[in-house]
Structure 1
Amino acid sequence: MNTKNVNTIAQPYAEALIAIAKSSQSLETVNADMSFVETTLANSSELRSYLWNPLVSKQDKLTLVNKIFSDHISSISLQFLKLLIDRKRITLVNYIISKYLELGLEIASVTLVKITSAVSLSDEQLNLLTDKIKVMYNSRQIQVDFKIDANLIAGFIVQVGSKTIDTSVKGQLEKLYTFMDIGLG
């Protein structure tokens, strides 16, 4: 399934969960639940394989989800996971959660920023960078997902939504190589 189809399916589910969470005044709880589910699935390839397996019965998947998550997430979130299993959309849960969290941040006027740097940034450097991003994207609040990747050699990459700003040496070398490759062709 291509990305466009996945987003077409994930968006309505994410919007429905946002609407339910808002109407029940449990947006923060459901946000935490979805983050927990996302982390749990990311850390267990066995769980993902089991839930994604079309040969496993719907009832067995429901039983397992109930057993694993019932003591850790709200009933709203648990019912949502069961709905995804029932509608055979559990294989898209990562996309749906990602879209849900993105929409939740938009509601709270929070901009999610992914920063990958060749080295650790000082608090002052990170604050200067996030202040510039706030101005660029007219955002009141920034949530930063920071990672270090020594392969960048130097510099950093900032990703906000579908936009990427690449100031890394690795990125600049790749652009130069592409330019030279086209020019020599």
Structure 2
Amino acid sequence: MSEQRAASRYAKSMLDLAQERGNLEQVKEDMDLFAKTLEQNRDLRLLLRNPIVKHDKKLSILRAIFGGKVSEVTEKFFTIITQHNRESALEWVAIEFQSQYEALRGIQVAQVTTATPLNAILRHEVTKLVREQTGHQSVTLSEKVDPELIGGFVLRVGDRQIDDSVRSRLNRLRNTLKETSHQSQL
């Protein structure tokens, strides 16, 4: 079974259990903390993937890092994962949990990349555009700045992308000019 498929199943189980116990929001915060910690700590990611490190050692490290900071459900989840030798899937579980949580709550996540940070008016306009395109009323906007875009924006919603950046327009213009010059030489 692939890591991502296993992660999807573990995330679904954790989501269902958290709902059943009435602490879904706490477990969501736990998974956010876990994902952020993994994102910022390459050594921890490598440790969890390392087949040489014993499973009980990995569990003790997870307890040392997250003990008292996460809910009882999350701590027990870490124990179950390590007992089943699936620590390498934990990184994917955190990502998949967030995705399933957003789907459950009807939250549409969109990533917008701009050359400069968005101001409040532009942020509102982008959020409005995402609502119109997807029909979701609840939108979480992830913002990223890439000065190489020069201007405009790149908006990614799920597997769709709208690229209205100056860089993209310049590339299209360059390709059109190349094609035109090749055709005129014939």
Name the CA distance, whole Å, in 2 between partners of 1:170 and 1:161.
22
Determine which of 88, 91, 112 is the counterpart of 2:88.
91
Identity %: 24
Bigger Rg, structure 1 or 2: 2
Task: Report deviation, 1:7.
Answer: 3.5
Determine which of 136, 139, 142 is the counterpart of 1:142.
139
Task: Report deviation, 1:27.
Answer: 0.9
Determine which of 12, 15, 19 is the counterpart of 2:12.
15
Residue in 2 aligned with 1:117?
Answer: 114
Residue in 2 aligned with 1:104?
Answer: 101
Determine which of 16, 38, 42 is the counterpart of 1:41.
38
Residue in 2 aligned with 1:130?
Answer: 127
Name the CA distance, whole Å, in 1 between partners of 2:98 and 2:138.
15
Deviating more after overlay: 46-55 vs 19-28:
46-55
Task: Report deviation, 1:174.
Answer: 4.4
Name the CA distance, whole Å, in 2 between partners of 1:54 and 1:179.
51
Residue in 2 aligned with 1:76?
Answer: 73
Name the CA distance, whole Å, in 2 between partners of 1:132 and 1:76.
38
What are the superposed Cα offsets for residues 112-137 of structure 1, whole Å, 9 maximum, x if unpaired? 11111111222111101111211211
What are the superposed Cα offsets for residues 29-75 of structure 1, whole Å, 9 maximum, x if unpaired? 01100000111111112222222211000111111111111111011
Structure 2 length as normaliser, TM-score?
Answer: 0.87
* 3-state DSSP of counterpart to 2:142: strand
Return the letter of the residue paired with 2:154: I
Residue in 2 aligned with 1:160?
Answer: 157
Name the CA distance, whole Å, in 2 between partners of 1:92 and 1:151.
34
Residues 15 and 100 in structure 1, CA contact (< 8 A), matched pair in contact too = yes
Return the letter of the residue paired with 1:44: N
Residue in 1 aligned with 2:29?
Answer: 32
Q: What value does the CA root-mean-square deviation take over the aligned residues?
A: 2.3
The count of corresponding residues between Structure 1 and Structure 2 is 182
Name the CA distance, whole Å, in 1 between partners of 2:141 and 2:172.
26
Residues 131 and 137 in structure 2, CA contact (< 8 A), matched pair in contact too = yes
* 3-state DSSP of counterpart to 2:123: helix
Residues 65 and 82 in structure 1, CA contact (< 8 A), matched pair in contact too = no
Task: Report deviation, 1:85.
Answer: 2.3
Name the CA distance, whole Å, in 1 between partners of 2:123 and 2:102.
20
Return the letter of the residue paired with 2:132: V
Return the letter of the residue paired with 2:147: A
* 3-state DSSP of counterpart to 1:167: strand
Name the CA distance, whole Å, in 1 between partners of 2:179 and 2:108.
36
